[in-house]
Chains A and B, each alone.
Chain A
Amino acid sequence: MTTRTTNKQRDVLGVSALRPDGIAKTQGTFSFSSDYTADNMLWGATLRSPHPYARIISIDISAAIKIDGVETILVSGDVPGKLTYGLIASDQPVFASDYVRYMGEPIAAVAADHPETCRRALDAIVVHYEVMAPLTSIEDALNPNTPSIHPDGNVFRHQRILHGDANATGDIIVEGEYEIGMQDQAFLGLEAALAYPDSDGAGVELVVATQWLHEDQNQIADCLAMPKEKVRLQLGGVGGAFGAREDISLQVHTCLLALRTGRPVKMQYTREESFFGHVHRHPGVIALKHHVTNEGRIVKIEGTMKLDGGAYASTSSAVLINGVTHIQGPYKCANAVFDGYAVRTNNPPCGAMRGFGVVQACFAHEGQMDKIAKAVGKSPVEVRLLNAMEKGDTLITGQAVESVAPVARCIRETDALPMPEPLSHGSEIMEFPGGSGRTSELHNIKRGIGWGVSIKNLMYSEGFDDSAEARCTLADGVATIKFATAEVGQGFVVLAQQIARTVLGVDVVVLDRIDTEIGSAGSTSASRQTWMSGGAVDGACRLVRERLFEHVAHTHGLDPLQLVIEDTDIVDTMGPLRVSVSEASKGVKIVQTFLHQHRKTEELDENGQGNCHVAFAFVAHRAVVDVDVELGLVKVVQIATAQDVGRSLNPLALLGQIEGGIAQGLGLAVMEEIIVQNGIVKNPSFTDYLLPTALDAPDVLFIPIEEPDPQAPLGAKGVGEPPCISVTPAIVAAIRDATGVDLKRTPVRPQDICL
């Protein structure tokens, strides 16, 4: 027995517990995937196509292989298993052999003693191409007369949504066209992996930065023609992901090189290569027509969404579904006729990025909301409140919103946040549009305010069999948690510890290595890990607690149902017993594994009807910008936001997600775009692909809306994606407000404002 201990705040759920990997990350001792090295290690590098579309006539490696220090060079013919891979459709070659379909497509891989030797070998490989005219426009891809650039055709998916009365009309029609540029995830930790071949050559171990170890394992094993268990993956430290690590990049190449040479092989992309090595956010065009009443209520939406998926399928079909099923925004809408298309072109492949199709949809529907407001003489806030979705409303897919849906509350609480001070003569020029360029003076600057509100599905959709597994071991007062959840920076590692402390009353929680030695946790994407892996850790800890209660109850002759955890003690609710968890677990070892699954979803039918999503989260953003109208330069001053989070499990980590997501949405609004001309990427570097700096970061005011979701295992909704979705349209709306210019596309370029 122990007496009750201190009042010291324990790092349980709801507390701003600190990351267990934090200090190591500040010291440079945390191992990212690029930090791994091995004795006798070789370097690997990839030969990539300079053309967006060409037929490969021949590949000659004879000169390259003779270079001193070069160990091996692999081409498509050296792939022992499946020649293609892909998350949804396996349509992407491990190495191109007949055609290259985008600039940067891999053709060969080399292993050598030094990165520079690798680069020289790549230079020495001679590839003869028959260069072909690339297919680069969405309209051409949709034209049935355009020759297919891939055996699977030029359209990844068409999905129609037909809901309610197709002939319904309102009093007013509001039309708009919107265009979204191609954004890059631009994680800082470049793609990197280290593969160790088994001594017998029958298996391989891969340390890699990824979002989903088990999906990588499946795809790699297929390409290597190995049983899954012979391909063992360990998560190397992940320097950000944001969707870009959901697809395979260098995984298969690294394993192949290691198996061929019998030596450990490390591959690591350069920044330039990284722009070609992973998928991007889909660029697209959206046409929307809203039928509204004179009052401003939405009666029907019509329109089309066309997304450019680039050369290979990746997740285009799922991105499209997310786009079309969120096109109504967080607003009531009874009738819809909407068509979505995701097409194949010779542009860079596009796939997952934070927000996943909803970013594109939101940019369009929020542009429309402001147009509706103007048409009916209401404010942006009024028209959004008038239409705000509520729990129980039916979506245009026919699915009812069963999640908590505090849309109006998000808008009102955002609206109540204070506005920033106006610029004055005392303001720092570095805070003006143009910053250190000293372009602008006070009288050149106009301030604008804009709104964006969004709905985002949480977790995977359309019947995907989604689950996450976790294991909890309790021994001598120490809990050890094992999972395959990719920690990419979001902080699942601290959340897992908080859950274990809360459920089990332990203080010491050890996290086991993240690898494929346990079942899949699914992907760290779709705002799903707090719900899914959090649910799995919670479930495993609860099972352990049950066993522990049984053990204690047995020892003391009690009913285990009488026992509860109070701080770090087990307490008998019906009697005097109070024993610390560490004491009660002395000499015992309890191991429990739990598989968390969410409720089943359905595929959409041909009219886009079906309960395809699991749950939803909502958010509102208000942006304040300063614009130098004459030069078209923008400084985002402040973002106010209230977000539906269910329950705040770690306020500090939550705030980090909010602020970080806002910065990425800001990037898409005013500076971030991969510029592709005729299939050629023009700016694959950080000199020309611009990310927000410390001087571009706005002040962020944030209110969490905590209405626990009874469906969610911890009451908490995923919070990763919503912050970056409606902030982009809010900023663009604020620029429209400041300038009066009807901006149709994002990112907004200076010339879009002033010319």
Chain B
Amino acid sequence: MSIFSPRSLPEALEIANNHPTARLLAGGTDTMVEINFRHYEPTDIISLRHVRELQTFEQTGEVYRVGSAIPYREFENGSYAHISQALSEAARTVGSPQIRAAGTIGGNLGTCSPAGDTLPVLSALDAQIELASVNGTRVLSIHDFMLGVKRNARASNEIITAINFSKIDGYQGYAKVGVRNAMVISIASACLVHDPKNQRVAIALGAVGPTIIRCRESEAWLSDNTDLSTNSPISADITNEFARRVSAEARPITDHRSTAEYRKHAVGVLAQRLLKRAMQ
């Protein structure tokens, strides 16, 4: 049992390569809950707290590159709040201010819970996930990265190093249903991104399937039936039908947090409201 505190990415990658069963620890807000509740017994830990490379942010033209260990708070109202309105809105709904100061966007990806708040945003933005190992770096689409309930495509010797996504000119927003006004796990959430340049709307749903659901059919239907090159208001018939279709694409379950029926209903309502916010 060891805890490693590497000071650089190469060092971290080397350790990850030599200790394939080690757990990567970033903010700790998921892993420590598992330990405290005895759902996970720690053996080797690689703490990423002191790996500077993972905290960096770059902008190249219209593309942002976000270091994986940047905490939610920086997207909510800190240095990077300007890069994505939807990410800012989603970050604001993560846990408590204390969680948002510690938890990281890379950690959200690593845990890959269907209720992870930033994941619908990254899905709707078609984010690209950078995974590094001693063998080099590969880039994976978020859609290929998320595999299922708390399952992702990261290999055991890899570290999620950064998230890349493009600047979008149109509306983007996130909405999440919970029964209290703060600090609540999503029972249904949605992110909608309007990209007028490419005449499309992207919508991704959280907590209504084994992983984030990107509503491709609804998106296609919408672009076939609406002019998405502007943000002119669209008819209630269109928003209602869009809501119905989004709802149909959800695959929720009933659990102690809510019912499948309600979740299906809720994502339809969120889709409709977000679309209206986009088109006004």
Contact = CB atoms under 8 A, between A and B. Distances in A.
The answer on direct contact between A and B (beta carbons under 8 Å) is yes
Interface of A: 119, 270, 272, 430-431, 433-439, 441, 444, 630-633, 635, 670-671, 675, 677, 682-683, 685, 687-688, 690, 692-696, 749-751, 754-755
A682 B182 contact: no
A631 B38 contact: no
Contact of B93 (A436, A690, A755): A436
B265 to A, nearest CB: 6
B179 A695 contact: no
A750 B179 contact: yes
Contacts of A272: 37
A693 B182 contact: yes
Interface string B248-273: 00000001111101100110011001
Given A272-B37, A751-B262, A690 B269 contact: no
- A interface, by DSSP: helix, strand, loop or mixed? loop
A755 B188 CA distance: 15
B180 A671 contact: yes
A153 B175 CA distance: 51
Most buried by B among A439, A441, A633: A439
A536 to B, nearest CB: 41
B179 A749 contact: yes
B175 A750 contact: no
Contacts of B153: none
B134 interface: no
Given A437-B175, A696-B180, A696-B182, A755 B92 contact: no
B174 A438 contact: yes
A437 B261 contact: no
Contacts of B176: 434, 436-439
Contacts of B266: 631, 750
B261 A751 contact: yes
B182 A435 contact: yes
B159 interface: no
B228 interface: no
Given A439-B175, A633-B177, 9 more contacts: A434-B175, A435-B181, A437-B93, A438-B174, A438-B175, A631-B177, A631-B266, A670-B179, A675-B256
Most buried by A among B181, B187, B189: B181
Contact of B92 (A436, A671, A683): A436
Contacts of B89: 438
A750 B181 contact: no
A95 B93 CA distance: 43
A436 B37 contact: no
Contacts of A431: 181
B180 A692 contact: yes
Contacts of B175: 434, 437-439
A693 B181 contact: yes
Contacts, number: 98
Contacts of A694: 182
A603 to B, nearest CB: 41
A750 B89 CA distance: 22
Contacts of A692: 180
6 contacts: A436-B92, A631-B269, A688-B185, A688-B257, A693-B182, A695-B182
A755 B265 contact: yes
Interface of B: 36-38, 89, 92-93, 173-187, 189, 255-259, 261-262, 265-266, 269-270, 273
Contact of B181 (A444, A630, A688, A695): A695
Contacts of B37: 270, 272, 685
Contact of B183 (A438, A670, A693, A749): A693
Contacts of A754: 262, 265
Contacts of B174: 438
A438 B173 contact: yes
A52 to B, nearest CB: 16
Contact of B256 (A430, A682, A695): A682
Contacts of B181: 430-431, 433-436, 635, 693, 695-696
A565 B181 CA distance: 53
Most buried by A among B37, B174, B257, B262: B262
A693 B256 contact: no
Given A436-B93, A750-B262, A690 B256 contact: no
Which 6 pairs across A and B sit closest by C-beta, in order of nearness? Answer: A435-B181, A682-B256, A437-B176, A695-B181, A751-B262, A695-B182
Contacts of B261: 751, 755
Given A119-B38, A751-B262, A441 B182 contact: no
Contacts of B270: 439
A444 B273 CA distance: 10
A239 B254 CA distance: 35
Contacts of B183: 693
A636 to B, nearest CB: 10
B258 A439 contact: no
A430 B97 CA distance: 14
Contact of B180 (A119, A441, A693): A693
Nearest to B257: A688
A697 to B, nearest CB: 9
A685 B178 CA distance: 16
